[in-house]
Amino acid sequence: MLLLGCWAFAAGGQPRPETQSGADVSNEQLAHAKTVFQERCVRCHGANGQGQTVLGSMLRMPDFTARAWWREDVSNRRLINSVTNGKNEMPAFGKKLTRTEINSLVAYVRRFYKAAAEKQNSSR
């Protein structure tokens, strides 16, 4: 079984790597996921994942860079379900994207928090 690295929070509130079932995501898949995100998700979630767009504000999109959003219950399974079946105003992409594209997209979205945390740590 291949594992996909992802982030959750340890008891002390610090992000910790966590592994969950899923496919190993290559650099090429991440690059494709970035393109998919730009084509299908940016309009609501914003290019930086913060949800600071007109539609994102109206629909109260989550800020993927915020520690508070990445609770332990934000599992790959939950994210994959949201992308596949839709959630609230978010459309379902299960018939528009392949399973590999959805898994890669989840891995790409998880990187928004990691990038924000690294940026914050480097500015200290």
| Whole-number pLDDT of residue 1 | 28
From the candidate CATH numbers 3.40.50.10130, 1.20.1110.10, 1.10.760.10, 1.10.3720.10, the one assigned to the domain spanning 26-122 = 1.10.760.10
Query: Over 70: is that where the pLDDT of 51 sits?
Result: yes
For residues 23 and 103, the answer to whether their CB atoms sit within 8 Å is: yes
Instruction: Enumerate the domain spans of the chain.
Output: 26-122
Q: For residue 100, give every residue at least 6 positions away whose Cβ sits within 8 Å of its Cβ, in sequence order, or none.
A: 23, 29
Query: Over the chain, what is the mean pLDDT?
Result: 82
| Whole-number pLDDT of residue 119 | 74
Q: Which contacts of 71-74 are long-range, i.e. CB under 8 A and separated by 24 or more positions?
A: 71/9, 72/8, 72/9, 74/8
Query: Higher confidence at residue 85 or residue 117?
Result: 85
Confidence of residue 113 (pLDDT cuts 50, 70, 90): confident
| Whole-number pLDDT of residue 99 | 96
| Whole-number pLDDT of residue 118 | 75
Phi, psi of 75 (to 5 degrees): -85, 165
| Whole-number pLDDT of residue 124 | 67
